[in-house]
Structure 1
Amino acid sequence: MITTIKNSDLTAVIKHFGAELCSLKDNSNTEYIWGGNPEFWGKHSPILFPIVGTLKNNSYQYNGKDYQLSRHGFSREMNFELIDKQENSATFSLTSTDETLQRYPFDFELFLIYTLENTSLKIEYKVINKGKSKMPFSIGAHPAFDLPNNFENYSLEFENSAPLTFHLLEEGLISNTTEQIQLDKKQLQLNYKLFENDALVFKKLPSKSITILENSKPILKVSYEDFPDLGIWTPPNAPFICIEPWFGYSDTVDTFGNLFKKEGIQVLDSNETFKSRFSIEIL
């Protein structure tokens, strides 16, 4: 099933499976979200919960028991319930089940709220700890933006010209090695060589927005003031770029499996609510 929301400037389509944004078009019918061709990557904009990235050995320990949790968690592979629908907004909910408790022994309710305001789509996450104990989690976005023309015609503009420090990945885990990217007048020209070693992972990135430009013309802006961490990714020769605001990231190579001690983890007290949001603005 899908749900469509509209305003005078934009139309957005969200799948109930994963509560995943699969289309964002303007009045000229220009599509801004990757179409999900499985030749490159069969997703559009999945939610990452209750972890972001990869756990070491895809496992962790809690109360003396080992649990298995695959990359990016399970929420992107579950059906959400549409609980509110207005012309320009839609709210989806996912609640813990017997199945999720086998992999993640915490009672939760997760909400995704999509709202169109003028030429922006605002995406809000809300996480409620429904259990009696503290609940560790990470959450993140993974939107893929369609780049239909030559990949190297596109660039990313950051908020300032400071060099970007990113962490290299080692078999999907955060290594102890960092590298720097120099920007040219706040801009990073895209090329596939940047992603030869998988995603660029930024911890505590100072820039809180990124603008996609085509031949120096701004197209789209992603703003993520609430989010401390960020990933940027595309697979080889794919005609899209993912700009991924995160709370947390993959395990480090020297992690020891305690989810509460995981770098970047969030912890909610019983009945506590976490909220964050980011926006996609068409320019």
Structure 2
Amino acid sequence: MTDETIRIASDALSASVAPLGAEMQNLRTAAGDELLWHGDPAWWGGRAPMLFPIVGRAPGDRVAAGDHEAEMRQHGFARRSVFELAERQPDRCRHLLRDSEATRAVYPFAFEIAAEHRIEGATLSVSVSVTNLDTRPLPFGFGFHPAFRWPLPGAEGQAHHVTLANGAAPAMARLSPDGLLPEARHASPFDAGRLTLDPAMFEADAMIFPESAGSALAYGPEDGPRLEFAFENLPNLAIWSKPGAPFVCIEPWHGMAAREGASPQIAERPWALDLPAGETARFGWSVTHRG
């Protein structure tokens, strides 16, 4: 095991990945422009955490799996766990997290998470597989939470947009004050797939799109640098920042916060998976820099 932060690169991009949470620490162009949020705790200390075995909050910060109940903080424990370096190449690295005595105390299952970061040209890809090593079905949600600079380098002073590739206007959900998911839905802030970002949008926390946001989007100004995203097996989307913060999170998920009034059972959370013993579920996202 190593506590070394691993650097990977191509001629167009470079990135580094830390063992804590297998979390990306930076994403830079060949010109040295930083695309990823730098994690200033004055705003938000995260950069690109992975969310497992829950996405969002649980009722009273407690989760249950059958008769087993325990405290679990928002977004689960993977982002606070040290991953083992399993493979390192100039353009990619792979980290592993397996169950331990500490994880089994709050989540009584045997599992393995394999997270690979890879750079090809101007594209970074992150792929994750979750394998159920237990004899019982594995209930969980999984999500990504990367934060990017707002404005992007070279686009200062320009309005930034999120544009869905499918041109949709998905209904929006807002979390309750205790971080749970109400049944109510709000009118979409998208117009024919296009959303102009405004800091005031985040005064009520994240904008969550449970369905119909599609599997690809672009982020950036009308003219100038932009980031193009693609998602695999991640049907839910959230966009989050803090009012006035110099970052925006593009968050593809398979799972969401527990519903208001729901039990703490992980298996009953919206979009939760119940993975059979011995099976593997795969998730991924990629981002391409267009300068």
1:142-197 per-residue CA deviation (whole Å, 9 max, x = no partner) reads 00001246677211111244323111210211012211224345321111121111
**Structure 1 unaligned runs (5+)?**
none
1:72-114 per-residue CA deviation (whole Å, 9 max, x = no partner) reads 0011011111110011000000111000111111111111101
Alignment length, in residue pairs?
Answer: 283
TM-aligned CA distance change 1:75 to 1:282, over 3 Å: same
User: 2:149 touches 2:248 (CA, 8 Å); kept in 1?
Assistant: yes
Counterpart of 2:229 in structure 1 is 222
User: 2:171 touches 2:211 (CA, 8 Å); kept in 1?
Assistant: no
Bigger strand share: 1
Distance 2:213 2:161 in 1: 19
The one-letter code sitting in structure 2 at the alignment partner of 1:158 is: L
By how many angstroms is 1:50 displaced? 0.8
Q: Output the aligned Cα RMSD.
A: 1.6
User: 1:17 touches 1:78 (CA, 8 Å); kept in 2?
Assistant: yes
Identity of aligned residues (%): 29
The SS at the match of 2:63 is strand
Distance 2:184 2:158 in 1: 27
Report whether the alignment pairs 1:95 with 2:98: yes
Instruction: Pick one of 202, 213, 216 that aligns with 1:209.
Output: 216
Instruction: Pick one of 34, 38, 59 that aligns with 1:35.
Output: 38
The SS at the match of 1:45 is coil
Instruction: Pick one of 17, 20, 23 that aligns with 2:26.
Output: 23
TM-score under structure 1 length normalisation: 0.95
Counterpart of 2:162 in structure 1 is 156
Distance 2:48 2:162 in 1: 19
1:196-244 per-residue CA deviation (whole Å, 9 max, x = no partner) reads 1111111123421121122443511111142111111001210011000
Runs of 4+ with >6 A deviation: none
Distance 2:74 2:82 in 1: 18
Distance 1:152 1:57 in 2: 41
**Structure 2 unaligned runs (5+)?**
none
User: 1:152 touches 1:191 (CA, 8 Å); kept in 2?
Assistant: no
